[in-house]
């Protein structure tokens, strides 16, 4: 179930007339609003009102107050002619992590709840840390979407990147490929060194180790993971206490070398599925407009200013929900 039920038309009207403010739209959108395409869903069936443009905050405010849409979207792309989606100039690079779609989560809800929202935030914090520390990406904006998070990146090298580069960066940050283990032995070029990922504390092997550790520590035992049979899943949970102290060697010994490879391959696929890859590589995607209402769950889509202590149940709940609970 979802935390809150859907918003009524009356509640949406009240939100956009009394609570919505253009100051809650991030600067990276508002400063170049004339280059953005907007889309709207008026009845809960999807964004079928597309190719809208606005000259500034006043015209956007008038539209939202007049229409009170079920959902509002804005393009990641910047166009010379956004009304026709022509003259593409650049596009934000996006990571979309939805709490309801996490392949591994410790809660039992069938929608979103406080637990899986917290786990989604932990995941995006890890992704952002890797983007900054490993790739030197700096211009990062985190948006709470209503039931998950959008990482929206505006670094110059990434906004002009094509889908191919975006895909490679995604796989690196997500830990979506098993690192190589065979390396040339500098003391004997005719032999190789065998170094598993957890023995290399830097670069991509370190990223993969962190992602896999997170996965294993959050398993419930009911997951259906491609390549990982029920017995292997049970043993991963049984011996994961070794990973509390990063004791990977005894953990791997308990699992066994062949099954460990199966585990690596399975969790690499899990890591990729944690992020919606289609969103990351799409240069013309539209995403929920920060400041708008996610009417399906009656929560606000908001920019996260402090990701270390952000709580959506304190910062993203519209006023009408509290009054709804009291009534």
Inter-CA distances, 39 with 13, 42, 74, 109, 215, Å: 18, 10, 6, 30, 36
Two structure tokens written together for 33: 């609003």
> Is 88 contained in some domain?
yes
> Is 173 part of any domain?
no
Q: Which residues are catalytic?
A: 96, 98, 276
Burial of 182 (0-12, 13-18, 19+ CB in 10 A): exposed
| Structural domain span for residue 291 | 1-162+283-327
Is the same domain home to 157 and 37?
A: yes
The pTM assigned to this predicted structure is 0.93
Same domain, 40 and 106: yes
Residue 22 has pLDDT above 60, yes or no: yes
> Could you tell me the CATH number of the domain that includes residue 325?
3.90.920.10
Q: Is residue 278, in this structure, part of any structural domain at all?
A: no
Closest residue by Cα to residue 284 from 45, 50, 40, 42: 50
**In this predicted model, what pLDDT tens digit does every residue of 145-166 receive, in sequence order?**
999 999 999 999 999 999 999 9
Q: What digits encode the pLDDT tens for the residues 219-264?
A: 999 999 999 999 999 999 999 999 999 999 999 999 999 999 999 9
């Amino acid at each position: 179930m979802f935390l809150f039920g859907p918003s009524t038309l009356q509640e949406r009207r009240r939100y956009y007339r009394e609570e919505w403010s253009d100051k809650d739209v991030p600067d990276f959108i508002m400063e170049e609003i004339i280059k953005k395409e907007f889309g709207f869903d008026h009845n809960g069936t999807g964004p079928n009102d597309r190719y809208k443009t606005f000259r500034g905050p006043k015209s956007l405010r008038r539209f939202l107050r007049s229409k009170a849409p079920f959902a509002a979207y804005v393009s990641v792309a910047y166009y010379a002619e956004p009304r026709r989606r022509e003259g593409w100039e650049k596009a934000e690079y996006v990571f979309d992590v939805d709490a309801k779609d996490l392949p591994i989560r410790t809660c039992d809800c069938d929608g979103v709840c406080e637990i899986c929202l917290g786990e989604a935030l932990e995941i995006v914090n890890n992704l952002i840390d890797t983007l900054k520390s490993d790739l030197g990406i700096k211009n990062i904006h985190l948006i709470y979407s209503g039931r998950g998070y959008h990482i929206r990146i505006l670094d110059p090298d990434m906004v002009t990147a094509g889908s191919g580069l975006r895909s490679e960066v995604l796989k690196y940050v997500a830990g979506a490929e098993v690192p190589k283990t065979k390396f040339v032995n500098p003391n004997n070029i005719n032999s190789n060194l065998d170094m598993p990922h957890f023995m290399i504390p830097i670069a991509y092997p370190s990223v993969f180790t962190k992602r896999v550790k997170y996965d294993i520590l959050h398993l419930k035992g009911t997951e259906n993971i491609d390549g990982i049979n029920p017995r292997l899943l049970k043993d991963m949970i049984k011996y994961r206490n070794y990973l509390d102290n990063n004791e990977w060697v005894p953990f791997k010994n308990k699992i066994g070398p062949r099954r460990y490879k199966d585990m690596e391959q399975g969790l690499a696929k899990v890591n990729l599925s944690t992020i919606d890859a289609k969103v990351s590589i799409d240069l013309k995607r539209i995403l929920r407009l920060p400041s708008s209402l996610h009417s399906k769950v009656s929560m606000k889509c908001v920019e996260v200013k402090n990701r270390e202590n952000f709580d959506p149940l304190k910062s993203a709940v519209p006023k009408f929900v509290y009054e709804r609970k009291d009534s």
